Amino acid sequence: MLATLLTASSAQALDKGAPAPQFDLPGLDGAVKLAKLQGKVVYVDFWASWCGPCRQSFPWMNEMQAKYGGKGLQIVGVNVDAKSDDARQFLTATPARFAIAFDPQGATPRSYGIKGMPSSVLIGPDGKVLLEHSGFREADRAELENKIQSALGGGK
């Protein structure tokens, strides 16, 4: 149902340089607020329990958070499952070592113009969109890491 909702949405993808839409969502460890992350590079990943490529992206995101968290990166996984139990089962099998937020109504992905899972948005320390990326393949890893490095000021 959410996939249909996202696909049918008339929301437009965000333009590079546009201010990232704010969100304040319940999370595994309390509220997750984009405004509180101002000054950090934020990688927002939209995911769902039924998404195969999402399972592949989590180990990579864990690695990126461990590698760059001390340099100013914060990864936020925004789950869009209608039932939080589905997300929790996913997280038991595929642990996250980064912030997890829940948006069962799908308002946040709509505000970001997300059309499918997984999709990610890289936000600079100034709160502006640097990159929007759809899907996740092994071949994406190096390019996405380079974008993160660049956003942190040590890019290639």
Domains of the chain are 48-156 (3.40.30.10)
Query: According to the model, what pLDDT value does residue 15 have?
Result: 85
* Beta-bridge mates of residue 44: 76, 121
Could you tell me the end-to-end alpha-carbon distance of the chain, in angstroms, rounded to an integer?
40
pLDDT over 60 (residue 78): yes
Query: According to the model, what pLDDT value does residue 8 have?
Result: 41
| Token output for 150 | 């660049």
Range 6-21 average pLDDT: 71
The confidence band for 4, taking pLDDT boundaries of 50, 70 and 90, is very low
Backbone phi and psi for residue 122, each to the nearest 5 degrees, phi listed first: -100, 125
Query: According to the model, what pLDDT value does residue 11 have?
Result: 55
Judged by average pLDDT, the poorest of 21-25, 30-34, 63-67, 82-86 is: 82-86
Question: What's the pTM?
Answer: 0.90
